Amino acid sequence: MKRFFLFSLILCLLATSLAFSMPMVARAESDVDITSKSACLVDYASGSMLYGHNPKEHLPIASMVKMMTILLTLDEFDKGSLTEETMITTSENASGMGGSQVFIDPYVEYSAGDLLKSVIMASANDASVALAEHISGSEKAFVNKMNQKAKELGMNDTYYVNCTGLPAPEQYSCAIDCAVVLKEIAEHELYHKYSTIWMDELVHPSGRKTELVNTNRLIRYYDGCDGGKTGSTNEAGCCLSASAVRNNMRLISVVIGAKNSQTRFNECTKLFNYGFANYESKKIVDSTLPALSLKVNKGKVDNADIYANEDYAVVVKKGDAHNYEVTYDSPNKISAPTREGDIVGKAIISKEGSVVKEIDLEVRANIDALSLKDCFDKVVENW
């Protein structure tokens, strides 16, 4: 009897020990009730995944494919190949796209700005193909660029077949790759110009008008949401990638394969609420404060403050210390003359021994060299 009691006691102690040794990630995930096939929550600044539910599972993503179409179009704006006023002649092929569309007319001109707005707001298949054909000559050639860009971004679990997300058996992506694309898109001001509009209209060359309503309802109903992309087909279910900012922290949430439209919005909201409630942004590098003070050789000043030319912040659990380290690669002194904006070193940000970011260090004031008279005056002063 005593042996049985002792054995039972040992089993209880082991069970208690195992319960307390379970990883915190598992507990955190249980706090978010996700019914969709796949989901993730990502910190925009670092790209770190704060929550994942089958984040790399290969799945159809419906119109979220258009995020890559949007990104490649924004790249053309960055290169100067397109402006919002660039006129694009549509084809019969583009105007004949089914599914979600803005009913563009064939063989007429629309501005690149209006077509991009139609894709971002209304998920227009016809506008997507019109942009693809203009940029690459054909949708097929454009899709090749989409896959090439995916490789450049390290999206190893994505393969595109078209630029719209219309059903195609070979086409797939995953939640974490969708977050990567949205992160790239969110860096463009032009994207936010259109992604934050709730209702608008497209005026066709004939004078006909098509009403545009943003398919991402979180733009209107979730505080801080300023971008995203929906998707919905029978095979993909209901999908959503969204981005939101609060307290200087931007998060990206992705849901794939929700059972209905309301569920995708509810579950993206749950992910945002979990992230904003449990994590905070901590600035690792502050570009407004001097990073170093360096001696100046043969300059009219003896020392110069050196600044990082951009901020760097990370998201950590509230109350936790970050495990990032900042070191500086710079000379002990700089030689005059130097000019405002001159790069004189790097701030190196590391985590657990691995470099995650390098930021240039710059001079923020002109430093003139000593003249002969200055040198003489200095000798006299010191004497």
Which pLDDT belongs to residue 377? 64
User: Residue 26: what pLDDT?
Assistant: 32
Rg (CA), the chain: 27
pLDDT by position in tens, the chain (length 383): 444 444 444 344 333 333 323 233 333 445 789 999 999 999 998 888 999 999 999 999 999 999 999 999 999 999 999 999 999 999 999 999 989 999 999 999 999 999 999 999 999 999 999 999 999 999 999 999 999 999 999 999 999 999 999 999 999 999 999 999 999 999 999 999 999 999 999 999 999 999 999 999 999 999 999 999 999 999 999 999 999 999 989 999 999 999 999 999 999 999 999 999 999 988 899 999 999 999 999 888 889 999 999 999 888 899 888 889 999 999 988 998 999 999 999 999 998 889 989 999 999 999 998 876 666 666 666 66
Which residues touch 166 (CB under 8 Å, ≥6 apart)?
A: 97, 98, 99, 125, 233
Range 286-382: architecture per CATH = Sandwich (2.60)
As a whole number of angstroms, the distance between CA 24 and CA 51 comes to 11
Please confirm whether the linkage preceding 337 is cis (ω < 30° from 0): yes
pLDDT of residue 373: 67
Residues annotated as catalytic are: 63, 66, 123
- Look at residues 120, 109, 68 and name the one whose alpha carbon lies nearest to residue 86: 109
pLDDT attached to residue 30: 52
Q: How far is it, in rounded angstroms, from Cα 115 to Cα 77?
A: 13
d(CA 4, CA 197): 70
Non-local (6+) Cβ contacts of 298 within 8 A are 335, 336, 369, 370
Do the beta carbons of residue 271 and residue 39 sit within 8 Å? Answer: yes
Structural tokens at position 165: 């997300």
Q: Where in the chain is the domain with CATH 3.40.710.10?
A: 30-280
- The Cα 41–Cα 3 span in angstroms is 50
Angle at 84 between CA 82 and CA 90, to 5 degrees: 75
How, if at all, do strands 333-335 and 292-297 pair? parallel
Residue 366 contacts residue 360 (beta carbons within 8 Å): no
> Domain spanning 30-280 has what CATH number?
3.40.710.10
Which regions of the chain carry the CATH code 2.60.410.10?
A: 286-382
d(CA 119, CA 306): 44
What's the first-to-final CA gap in the chain, in angstroms? Answer: 97
**Gap between the Cα atoms of 146 and 257, Å rounded:** 23
pLDDT score for 383: 63
pTM above 0.85, yes or no: no
What is the distance between the alpha carbons of residues 85 and 94, in angstroms, rounded to a whole number? 20
Give the pLDDT of residue 280.
93
CB 255 within 8 A of CB 34: yes
